[in-house]
Structure 1
Amino acid sequence: MGNPHFSFVILTYNEEQHLPRLLSSIYGLQATVYVLDSGSTDQTLSIAKRFGAQVKQQAFLNHPHQWHYALKTFDIQTPWVIGLDADHIVSDELKQRLLDFNDQDYPDIDGIYFNRKNYFKNKWIKNGGLYPFYLLKMFRYPLGYSDLNELMDHRFIVPGKTTIWKDGYLLEENLKENNIRFWIDKHNTYSDLLAREEVERRQLLRAQTVKPLFWGSPDQRTAWLKKLWWRMPLFIRPAIYFIYRYIFRLGILDGYQGFLFHFLQGFWFRLIVDVKIKEIIDIDEKD
């Protein structure tokens, strides 16, 4: 008999490097695994099927819509769902927590945050505000849903109370990002989405689903910080953010890989977004 408490849902696209790591890390939990693929041309689908996963395919629009489609399409039979990216690995400590998990122990909880360790170029990026870092990855089904008010960031929303598992980790390491061209191309695409999203928020065409609250849940705190970010002046805020992460949040202690990550993700990416926001605004004003 399969795990009666939770199932896994995983999104994939050409993940033959990553999927075996993830599926091996959750092997033994006896949970049903659903994989929604967006057109892989490598061995992703055969790997998923070899591990016994149920597979469907859907053309990719963006991550929030892909998660929405997965949750609405798969015939999920468990009271809880765990939504993971293909480049995640469930640590042994987190796996033990899941082995011990019983739905009856969480009668008033709708969602559970996992702690994440993020790796870049084979190094754990521990500082710069990246650890501890909590992601709502486990939630009651069908209460939890994908936040479609986001174009780039994807998150799950639950209506009720949440709790945080501070011990046990999701390890996140995208090996494809060791190739800097892949990283730049990926984030260039993300910057298109994020710039369009912010312009729409400035035009009041898009609202935050999560209530901004500094002392709230991890996602409520993120929503509060985003609201502050949107009020900051373009082109200046990336420099402020990089200095905050690299100096004040001790990103400087993360070594060579940390400098690259904090500079690229904290400054370069944010600056490109700001440039594209300005371009969109200029075009709209001409029209």
Structure 2
Amino acid sequence: MSVQDNAKHWMPGVAPVAVVMISLNEAHNMEAVLSNLKGWAQEVFLVDSHSADETVDIALRHGVHVVQRRFHGFGDQWNFALRELPITAPWTMKLDPDERLSNALKRNLTDAMQRSAAEGFTMQRRLWFMGRPLPVRHDILRAWKTGRCRFSDVLVNEHPLVDGAIAHVAGDIEHHDSPDLEHWLHKQNKYSSAEAIAFVAGTGLAAIPKLLGNAFEKRMWVKRHFFRIPFRYVGVFCYYLFLKGVWRAGKVGCIWARLRSDVYRYREYKVTEMRLTGRRPGATVSGCGRPDARVPQFD
């Protein structure tokens, strides 16, 4: 593990919690997320997968404890973080660089960590898209007593597994999903490829799928059998548009619902391609390289 040699250190905040993030090229989020945590988190850690932008520079400038490690999968990276980082705070919280904690959630979490007998906490995450909040919220498990959690060892869509009682804390995590549509499409393309690879390998489920199980097990059941459901993409679009109510966000909500159904479609097409060709989706080379000295150059 890399050793950080930096004079600046994170100034401990009022909450007895270590916030842990993983990153790859998240410079566009780092200033905002670290400003959001200032004065609140006791410790902040970052496991970076060798970013090519200023992610590490910004984190170090704010006094974050940074290590770097090659990315092998989301579950693997999070288990490394919980196993190897020198966390001293009594509580640990998972946060993504594109997320922000509301003031109400900060207050309620601080109080719960000091008073509750629970081993972990769920909270609501609200999605933002194209700079607008969507009426899409879901409960997520994001905080636990240090040492009481491990992650499902999956390539993508990892899930925290906490030993002990779980309580709910009121307040929102705001999920600012990508700075623009170009970034969003690129990210979803990568995620759908990872999900397709995991599906073909039979390792894409974070829990045992059960039609009559809890909410998470039911979701895994739908995920396993999704490709067999008739009119599935129309169903996904209508589910988000009407049942989740994103129509209330106007045109932005309709665009998001359509794009979400498209991402499911991309995953299925990639699974089909892999089964036909026997090849995994490959990394696409993009951008300009350096001039090649073997050939003439022109402006």
State the partner residue of 1:172.
175
SS of match in other structure, 2:119: strand
User: How much identity, in percent, do the aligned residues show?
Assistant: 22
TM-score normalised by L of structure 2: 0.80
Say if 2:106 is the partner of 1:95: yes
Shifted more, 241-250 versus 116-125: the winner is 241-250
What amino acid is aligned across from residue 134 of structure 1 in structure 2? D
**Deviation string for 1:134-164 (max 9, x for gaps)?**
111101221201111x322122111222111
State the partner residue of 1:246.
241
State the distance in 2 between where 1:78 and 1:90 align: 19
Say if 2:160 is the partner of 1:156: yes
What amino acid is aligned across from residue 188 of structure 2 in structure 1? H
Alpha-carbon RMSD across the aligned residues, in angstroms, is 2.4
Greater C-alpha Rg: 2
State the partner residue of 2:67.
56
**Where does 1:45-84 land on structure 2 (aligned, <5 Å)?**
45-84=56-95
**Deviation string for 1:6-36 (max 9, x for gaps)?**
2111112222221111111121125111111
State the partner residue of 2:182.
181
State the distance in 1 between where 2:113 and 2:144 align: 13
TM-score normalised by L of structure 1: 0.83
State the distance in 2 between where 1:123 and 1:275 align: 30
Work out whether residues 127 and 177 of structure 2, in 8 Å CA contact, stay in contact via their aligned partners in 1: no
More RCO (CA 8 Å, sep 6+) = 1
State the distance in 2 between where 1:239 and 1:159 align: 39
Residues 98/154 of structure 1: CA separation in 2 closer, same or farther (3 Å cut): same
State the distance in 1 between where 2:83 and 2:68 align: 13
Aligned residues: 266
SS of match in other structure, 1:125: strand
State the partner residue of 2:131.
122
What amino acid is aligned across from residue 23 of structure 1 in structure 2? L
Unpaired runs of 5+ residues, structure 2, are 1-10, 279-299
Shifted more, 139-148 versus 231-240: the winner is 231-240
Runs of 4+ in 1 over 6 A off after TM superposition: none
Displacement after TM superposition at 1:256 (Å): 1.3
Work out whether residues 7 and 81 of structure 1, in 8 Å CA contact, stay in contact via their aligned partners in 2: yes
State the partner residue of 1:113.
122
Displacement after TM superposition at 1:50 (Å): 2.1
Say if 2:209 is the partner of 1:226: no
